[in-house]
């Protein structure tokens, strides 16, 4: 498995917050799906409220 690091912003109500998260996955696309799932679940938001600004393989 490879580790991918994502950073960007999430909209929570009327404000925006930055995030940086590392995900272990077999592909970059799978890591992105896991990221959307985790952040959406943690903050009760839709994928459209999550903006990925940077992604890299660690």
**pLDDT on residue 19:** 96
Range of the domain at 13: 2-57
The tens digit of pLDDT for each residue in 2-38 reads 999 999 999 988 899 999 999 999 999 999 999 999 9
**pLDDT on residue 35:** 97
Q: Which two three-digit tokens encode residue 25?
A: 């996955």
Report the domain count for the chain: 1
Domain containing residue 35: CATH number? 3.10.20.10
**Phi, psi dihedrals of residue 30, rounded to the nearest 5°:** -65, -40
- Would you call 50 helix, strand, or coil by DSSP? strand
**pLDDT on residue 13:** 84
> What is the pTM assigned to this prediction?
0.90
């Amino acid at each position: 498995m490879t580790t991918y690091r994502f950073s960007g912003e999430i909209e929570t109500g009327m404000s925006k917050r930055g995030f940086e998260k590392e995900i272990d996955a077999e592909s970059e696309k799978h890591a992105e799906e896991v990221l959307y799932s985790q952040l959406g679940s943690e903050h009760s938001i839709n994928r459209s409220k999550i903006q990925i600004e940077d992604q890299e393989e660690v």
